[in-house]
Amino acid sequence: MSLVATYVQATDGKFYKGAVIFEEGWFVCFDDDDPPELVVFEGHKIPNLDWFERKNTPHSGGHRCVPPDWKKMRKAKSYWGTLIKRIPIPTEYDGVVDSKNQIFEGVIYEKELK
């Protein structure tokens, strides 16, 4: 649970508050006091994400809510990781700003374009 807002910079240069990226079988979320987290649901392969470097050992198992409605629970494994590039534009988010100068308070994940 985040105590402050979390913003992540996407490939369009904007900063997305409460960003979540998901496709069938997995999602990546961001928190203010934990590293980026990849959640993979049972029966699905770990995705190959060129912007996320996954640690090899899962940090937890159990049941997690399933996007997009977040109401159903399914068995899943969770992996911490690090961002190695800017994220794609999120599937879901709570807000967006054009510049980090517009962020009053929060944790910011940003990457320079290479």
pLDDT in tens, 12-63: 999 999 999 999 999 999 988 889 999 999 999 999 999 999 988 888 778 8
State mean pLDDT over 69-83: 91
Provide DSSP, 21-84: EEETTEEEE--SSS--EEEEETTSPPP--TTEEE-SS-SB-SEEE-TTT--SEEEEEEEEEEES
Q: Which residues contact 63 (CB under 8 A, 6 or more apart)?
A: 73, 74, 75, 76
**Residue 111 confidence (pLDDT):** 76
State mean pLDDT over 77-82: 93
Contact 88, 22 (CB under 8 A): no
pTM of structure: 0.88
- Radius of gyration of the chain measured on its C-alpha atoms: 14
1 pLDDT above the threshold of 70? no
**Residue 61 confidence (pLDDT):** 77
Which residue matches tokens 């069938």? Answer: 24
Residue extents of the structural domains in the chain: 6-109
